[in-house]
């Protein structure tokens, strides 16, 4: 078993593995990451292989502080300082013009690099011990739900990763907010734990993510393809509680084993924190079908709705007819 408890010795061991070109999985406050030395092209190539990740999807580079982040870019705008001062360390990733020191493979050959300073104690200890920038996508096979426990990592990647540091369940529960600062006006690329309202308070104007159809052609953030973060069991999501109830009745009448992803009675951070854990659990429970009533279509629920919509199978008109 590749899961290791957090001890000073295991942190040093993980750091040594990273410096020697290996892969390790570690907790951050959002989801577990699959890390490699961001400057080592062979090590980074292993991340893509282990995840089965398309080579056009760039990685987030994790660093210890703002100074280290500035060293990775060719231009550091004032907006980056303002966001970093407010939200780092924390669940915010900034996309900035790429510095020459960042290899092509880490940035998937693009002109920008995504950077984040994580807040999790274990991630910080690892960055300090290894003293290198760590490229780390979520520690799951490409297209699957992100891991929020060491066990989830093991279930998805198995022995592809030699060492998984077990820091317990993550607290934010969904992936970091990604903001692109490489253009004239900041753009939200991926909603996340740092809300749009908090970003707007610092930035003023901020553009919203491209619609999925735009992405297919220009790929501004290739990981944001419309279907992503999906459980293995088909999931359907509903905006209307009537349609949700109707569908539940019909599926049960057909004799299907229906699992319900119930988000009611909790606030936004609580739902975000438990979202993937609940999906992992339902997925493991052997249901034939999962259904979920979406939270309201308001800015505060943007990230939750985004992840649920991506995790769901699109409704075909034929399906709507059967409701």
Please, which of residues 79-138 interact with Mg ion by CB under 5 A? 138
The alpha carbon of 122 is separated from its chain's Cα centroid by a whole number of angstroms, namely: 18
Measured between its terminal Cα atoms, the distance across the chain in Å is: 45
Instruction: Please say which residue, 211 or 253, places its beta carbon nearer to ligand TXA.
Output: 211
In the chain, DSSP finds a helix count (H) and a strand count (E) of 12, 13
Q: Rounded to an integer, what distance in angstroms lies between the CA atom of residue 278 and that of residue 274?
A: 6
Instruction: Find the Cα–Cα–Cα–Cα dihedral 116, 121, 122, 124, rounded to 10°.
Output: 40
What residues make contact with ligand TXA under the rule CB under 6 A?
28, 30-31, 33, 57-60, 91, 93, 95, 107, 110, 112-114, 116, 136-138, 175-176, 178, 189-190, 221-224
The alpha carbon of 322 is separated from its chain's Cα centroid by a whole number of angstroms, namely: 34
Instruction: Find the Cα–Cα–Cα–Cα dihedral 295, 307, 172, 136, rounded to 10°.
Output: -170
Encoded one letter per residue, x for contact with Mg ion by CB under 5 A and - for no contact, window 138-157 reads: x-------------------
Q: How far is the CB of 288 from ligand TXA (least distance, A)?
A: 28
Q: How far is the CB of 30 from Mg ion (least distance, A)?
A: 10
Instruction: Please say which residue, 28 or 138, places its beta carbon nearer to Mg ion.
Output: 138
Instruction: Please say which residue, 138 or 221, places its beta carbon nearer to Mg ion.
Output: 138
Q: How far is the CB of 149 from ligand TXA (least distance, A)?
A: 14
Longest dimension (CA), the chain: 60
Q: How far is the CB of 264 from Mg ion (least distance, A)?
A: 27
117 has which bridge partners?
none
Q: How far is the CB of 223 from ligand TXA (least distance, A)?
A: 2
In the block, tokens 């966001």 appear at: 83
Instruction: Please say which residue, 30 or 37, places its beta carbon nearer to ligand TXA.
Output: 30
Instruction: Let me know: does 25 contact 4? Beta carbons within 8 Å.
Output: no
Q: How far is the CB of 286 from Mg ion (least distance, A)?
A: 25
Instruction: Please say which residue, 144 or 166, places its beta carbon nearer to Mg ion.
Output: 144
Find which of ligand TXA, Mg ion, none residue 107 binds, CB within 5 to 8 Å per kind.
ligand TXA
Find which of ligand TXA, Mg ion, none residue 89 binds, CB within 5 to 8 Å per kind.
none
Q: Rounded to an integer, what distance in angstroms lies between the CA atom of residue 189 and that of residue 316?
A: 27
Q: How far is the CB of 190 from Mg ion (least distance, A)?
A: 10
Instruction: Let me know: does 236 contact 292? Beta carbons within 8 Å.
Output: yes
The alpha carbon of 190 is separated from its chain's Cα centroid by a whole number of angstroms, namely: 9
Query: Cβ-closest residue to Mg ion?
Result: 138
Instruction: Please say which residue, 230 or 282, places its beta carbon nearer to Mg ion.
Output: 230
Q: How far is the CB of 11 from Mg ion (least distance, A)?
A: 24
Instruction: Please say which residue, 142 or 246, places its beta carbon nearer to ligand TXA.
Output: 142
DSSP, res 138? B
CA neighbor of 124 nearest in space, from 40, 22, 6, 42: 6
Question: Is the link from the previous residue into 302 a cis peptide, with omega within 30 of 0?
Answer: no
Instruction: Please say which residue, 111 or 317, places its beta carbon nearer to ligand TXA.
Output: 111
Find which of ligand TXA, Mg ion, none residue 190 binds, CB within 5 to 8 Å per kind.
ligand TXA
Instruction: Let me know: does 300 contact 197? Beta carbons within 8 Å.
Output: yes
Find which of ligand TXA, Mg ion, none residue 95 binds, CB within 5 to 8 Å per kind.
ligand TXA
Residues making contact with Mg ion (CB under 5 A): 138
């Amino acid at each position: 078993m590749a899961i290791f408890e957090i001890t000073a010795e295991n942190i040093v061991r993980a750091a040594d593995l990273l410096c020697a070109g290996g892969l390790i999985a570690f907790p951050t406050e959002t989801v577990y990451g699959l890390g490699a030395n961001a400057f080592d092209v062979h090590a980074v190539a292993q991340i893509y292989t282990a995840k089965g990740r398309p080579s056009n999807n760039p990685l987030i580079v994790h660093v210890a502080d703002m100074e280290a982040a500035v060293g990775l870019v060719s231009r550091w705008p004032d907006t980056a300082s303002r966001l970093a001062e407010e939200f780092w360390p924390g669940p915010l990733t900034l996309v900035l013009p790429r510095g020459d020191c960042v290899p092509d493979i880490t940035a998937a050959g693009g002109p920008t690099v995504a950077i984040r300073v994580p807040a999790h104690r274990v991630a910080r200890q690892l960055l300090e011990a290894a003293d290198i920038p760590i490229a780390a996508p979520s520690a799951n096979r490409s297209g699957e739900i992100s891991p929020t426990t060491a066990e989830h990592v093991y279930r998805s990647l198995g022995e592809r990763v030699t060492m998984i540091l077990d820091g317990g369940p993550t607290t934010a529960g969904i992936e970091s907010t990604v903001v692109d600062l490489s253009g004239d006006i900041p753009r939200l690329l991926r909603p996340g734990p740092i809300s749009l309202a908090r970003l707007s308070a610092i930035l003023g104007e901020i553009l919203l993510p491209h619609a999925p159809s735009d992405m297919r052609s220009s790929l501004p953030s290739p990981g944001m393809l419309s279907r992503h973060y999906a459980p293995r069991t088909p999931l359907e999501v509903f905006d209307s509680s009537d349609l949700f109830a109707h569908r539940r009745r019909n599926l049960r009448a057909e004799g299907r084993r229906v699992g319900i992803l119930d988000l009611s009675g909790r606030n936004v951070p609580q739902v975000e924190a438990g979202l993937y854990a609940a999906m992992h659990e339902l997925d493991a429970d052997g249901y034939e079908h999962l259904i979920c009533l979406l939270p309201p279509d308001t800015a505060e629920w943007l990230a939750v709705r985004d992840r649920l919509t991506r995790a769901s199978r699109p409704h075909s008109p034929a399906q709507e007819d059967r409701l």
